[in-house]
C-alpha cells in the first residue's frame, strides 16, 4: 500500500488545539489506515492507505480529527514519492549551518505560484525563497534570523492553506517514509 505523511497544522501550539499523539494514532487507525505512526508533537502522522488521492485523504483525515477532538485541523498529505521530491528539489543552501530553512507545504489545491506571490517580501540580505513541487522553500541567515519576515506569513491570505516544517523535520519525515526495512511506513 502507498505510504503517506499527514502534516497537521496548528496543533499543540501555545496550549491551544491540544491533540495528544497517543490519541491521534488510534483516531487515524479507526479509518482503516495502517502502519500509523506519529512523529513529534507538531502533528506529523505517517501511514499507509489504499487511497492515493491526496485531496480525498486530506478531507477524510480532517473529518476524523475534528470528530475526535472537537475542532477543525487543516491537514496536508504528501506521498512518500512527493516527500522525496521535496527534499531532492531543495535549494543547495538547505541544510547549511548558516541558514535556518523551512519548507512551506501547500494544501491542495493551492499552487506554488499563487502561494509564492502571497509570501511577504523578503528582507534584503536576510531572507530567500523559492518555488518547489507543492511547496515553497524559505531560508534566512541564522545570524539575522530575528530580522526575517517569515513571521509575516501569518497575516497572508494563504496562511490557512499552508503548514510549515523546518528542514530537519522535513528530511526526517522523508527518511521515515523511505525506511521499509523495519516495516514501518
Whole-prediction pTM: 0.92
Q: Residue ranges of the domains in the chain?
A: 3-80, 83-176
Alpha-carbon span 38 to 59, nearest angstrom: 19
| pLDDT score of 2 | 83
CATH class of 83-176: alpha beta
Of 122, 176, 126, 120, residue with least CA distance to 6: 176
**CA–CA dist 59, 28 (Å, integer):** 13
Q: What is the pLDDT of residues 68-87, one digit of tens each?
A: 999 999 999 999 999 999 99
CATH superfamily for domain 3-80? SP0830-like domains (3.30.70.1280)
Instruction: Assign 152 a pLDDT band (cuts: 50, 70, 90).
Output: very high
Q: What is the pLDDT of residue 13?
A: 74
Amino acid at each position: 500500500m502507498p505510504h503517506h505523511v499527514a502534516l497537521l497544522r496548528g496543533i499543540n501550539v501555545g496550549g491551544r488545539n491540544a491533540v495528544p499523539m497517543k490519541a491521534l494514532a488510534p483516531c487515524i487507525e479507526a479509518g482503516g489506515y495502517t502502519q500509523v505512526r506519529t512523529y513529534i508533537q507538531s502533528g506529523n502522522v505517517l501511514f499507509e492507505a489504499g487511497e492515493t488521492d491526496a485531496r480525498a485523504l486530506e478531507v477524510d483525515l480532517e473529518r476524523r480529527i475534528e470528530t475526535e477532538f472537537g475542532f477543525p485541523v487543516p491537514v496536508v498529505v504528501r506521498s512518500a514519492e512527493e516527500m522525496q521530491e521535496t527534499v531532492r528539489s531543495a535549494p543547495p543552501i538547505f541544510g547549511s549551518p548558516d541558514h535556518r530553512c523551512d519548507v512551506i507545504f501547500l494544501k491542495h489545491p493551492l499552487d506554488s505560484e499563487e502561494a509564492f506571490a502571497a509570501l511577504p517580501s523578503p528582507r534584503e540580505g536576510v531572507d530567500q525563497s523559492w518555488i518547489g513541487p507543492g511547496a515553497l522553500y524559505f531560508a534566512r541567515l541564522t545570524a539575522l534570523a530575528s530580522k526575517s519576515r517569515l513571521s509575516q506569513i501569518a497575516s497572508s491570505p494563504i496562511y490557512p492553506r499552508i503548514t510549515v516544517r523546518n528542514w530537519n523535520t522535513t528530511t526526517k519525515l522523508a527518511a521515515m517514509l523511505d525506511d521499509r526495512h523495519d516495516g514501518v511506513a
